[in-house]
């Protein structure tokens, strides 16, 4: 017989259940896929801006799809504080990435031969940033499949670089895979948790 | 027989175990509520795997014991039953865990 009840594990599983709906996967995968399509047709920037503008939709979709199926829960102060810390940590990371991006943009814009080695890396620095953000998300939020996505991005960006793959495929391939993964997760989630009544009969 | 006497002493805390909590379904409910601030009926149903009627019945018993608070509210015109483990419930659950751990730790391998 188990001597103790692992409350931390119960809490962790309850928290992770909310991330098994595939909604974030659909948005991340969809974002990359659409950006790749946009690159193909040469209007990626507009689509990227639309993608960023759609991020608040995630919480609305979760409210419409996840909560009515999984139920509502307010986590304890410890989890709430951890969530807040994670959000701040991710924001800081995003700022660092943004400044690094601006630096890279400047480097690519200048004609100086000093940065030739960096230009020679092609899309790898961008891939590194994507891998970094995905890994950070996996680590901070405990969502293990994000590690798999990070590996996928790393493989596609590295293999793509050395096989002279066109840039839009760097986005379309992982985007499509993550999108499919999100769809499978969502379908499984909907099947596993049909919309139930939230009524107490007592 | 000193061994038997010893074993009897070890098992004595088990006699004072809170039976309201000791029932497996209620233990699951309390464990779920212990780790959150509050949750609704559906969330508990999903986490514990209990049927609606079964969960309702156990919640009534826990409410009668004064361990949980049940609040009904409407969110976007949809009724929601919110459940919360109160201070008495937390204390009772802590005490239950302490007693169980103590009793089980004392048992020989």
pLDDT of residue B30: 95
Structure tokens at A38: 């946009």
Q: Is residue A7 part of a domain?
A: no
Query: How many of the other CB atoms lie within 10 Å of CB of B66?
Result: 13
Residue A63 lies in a domain: yes
A186: closest CA of chain B, how far (Å): 17
Question: Which pLDDT does position B8 carry in this prediction?
Answer: 61
CB contact under 8 A, B47 and A4: no
Average pLDDT score, chain B:
86
- Enumerate the residues of chain B whose CB falls inside 8 A of the CB of residue A7: 31, 34-35
pLDDT at B2: 47
Sign, Cα dihedral of A4, A8, A14, A20: negative
Mean model confidence pLDDT for chain A: 83
Residue A197 lies in a domain: no
Residues of chain A with pLDDT under 70: 1-4, 44-45, 47-48, 108, 110-115, 118-119, 196-202
Domain range for B37 is 2-106
Residue B10 has pLDDT above 80, yes or no: no
A133 in Cβ contact with A93 (< 8 Å):
yes
| Pairwise CB contact (< 8 Å): B39 & A71 | yes
**pLDDT recorded at residue A4:** 63
pLDDT given for residue A3 in this prediction: 54
Residues of A in contact with B104 (CB under 8 A): 1, 3
Instruction: Give the distance from residue A144's alpha carbon to the nearest chain B alpha carbon, in angstroms.
Output: 20
Query: Chain A: nearest CA to B96, how far in angstroms?
Result: 11
Which residues constitute the domain of residue A54?
Answer: 12-192
The minimum CA-CA distance between B65 and chain A, rounded to whole Å, is 14
Direct distance between the N- and C-terminal alpha carbons of chain B, in angstroms, rounded to an integer: 19
Cβ–Cβ gap A73/B97 under 8 Å: no
The whole-number pLDDT of residue A40 equals: 84
pLDDT for residue B11: 66
Verify whether the Cβ–Cβ distance A202 to B105 is below 8 Å: no
> How distant is the Cα of A177 from the closest Cα of chain B, in angstroms?
29
Q: Are A197 and B52 an interchain contact pair (Cβ–Cβ within 8 Å)?
A: yes
> Structurally, how many domains does chain A consist of?
1
Interchain CB contact of A114 with B (< 8 Å): no
ipTM above 0.85, yes or no: no
Q: Distance between CA atoms of B82 and B79, rounded to whole angstroms? A: 10
Residue A118: inside a domain, yes or no? yes
Which residues pair with residue B85 across a beta bridge? B68
Domain count within chain B:
1
Which helix H or strand E contains B36, and what residues bound it?
A: strand B36-40
Distance CA B27, CA B21 (A): 5
Q: Does any CB of chain A come closer than 8 Å to the CB of residue B46?
A: yes
Determine contact, residues A55/A28, Cβ cutoff 8 Å.
no
Q: Which of B14, B46, B69, B94 to mutate to test the interface with A (most CBs of A within 10 A)?
A: B46
Selected residues 64-83 of chain B with any CB under 8 Å from a CB in chain A: 70, 72, 75, 78-82
Alpha helices for A18-142 (secondary structure H): 23-40, 44-54, 57-61, 67-70, 77-109, 116-119, 124-141
The answer to whether residue A10 neighbours chain B at the CB level (below 8 Å) is: yes
Residue A201, domain member (yes or no): no
Q: Which of A1, A8, A198 sits opposite B81 (nearest CB)?
A: A198
Q: Which residues pair with B71 in a beta bridge?
A: B82
Q: Domain holding B16: CATH number?
A: 1.10.10.10
Contacts of A79 in chain B (CB under 8 A): 36
Report if residue A142 sits inside a domain.
Answer: yes
Give me the sheet containing A73-75, strands edge to edge: A73-75, B36-40, B78-85, B68-75
The dihedral through the CA atoms of A189, A72, A6, A24 has a sign that is positive
CA distance B1 to chain A (A): 27
Residue A26 pLDDT: 92
| Res B54 pLDDT > 90 | yes
């Amino acid at each position: 017989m188990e001597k103790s009840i692992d409350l931390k594990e119960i809490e962790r599983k309850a928290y992770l259940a909310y991330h098994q709906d595939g909604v974030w996967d659909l948005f991340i995968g969809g974002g990359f896929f659409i950006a790749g399509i946009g690159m193909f047709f040469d209007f990626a920037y507009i689509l990227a801006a639309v993608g960023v503008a759609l991020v608040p939709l995630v919480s609305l979709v979760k409210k419409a799809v996840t909560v009515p199926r999984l139920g509502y829960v307010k986590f304890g102060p410890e989890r709430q504080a951890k969530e807040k810390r994670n959000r701040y940590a991710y924001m800081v990371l995003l700022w660092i990435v943004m400044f690094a991006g601006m630096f890279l943009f400047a480097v690519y814009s200048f004609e100086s031969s000093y940065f030739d080695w960096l230009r020679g890396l092609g899309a790898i620095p961008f891939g590194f940033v994507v891998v970094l953000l995905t890994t950070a998300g996996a680590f901070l939020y405990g969502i293990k499949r994000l590690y798999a996505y990070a590996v996928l991005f790393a493989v596609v960006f590295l293999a793509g670089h050395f096989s002279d793959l066109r840039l839009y495929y760097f986005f379309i391939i992982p985007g499509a895979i993550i999108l499919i993964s999100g769809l499978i997760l969502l379908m499984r989630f909907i099947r596993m948790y049909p919309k139930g009544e939230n009524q107490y009969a007592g | 027989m000193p061994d038997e006497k010893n074993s009897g002493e070890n098992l004595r805390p088990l006699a004072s175990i809170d039976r309201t909590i000791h029932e497996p379904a209620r233990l699951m409910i309390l464990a779920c509520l212990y780790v959150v601030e509050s949750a609704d009926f559906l969330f508990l149903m999903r986490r514990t795997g209990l049927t609606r009627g079964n969960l309702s019945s156990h919640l009534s018993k826990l409410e009668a014991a004064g361990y949980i608070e049940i609040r009904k509210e409407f969110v976007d015109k949809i009724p929601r039953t919110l459940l919360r483990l109160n201070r008495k419930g937390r204390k009772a659950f802590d005490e239950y865990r302490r007693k169980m751990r103590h009793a089980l730790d004392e048992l020989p391998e």
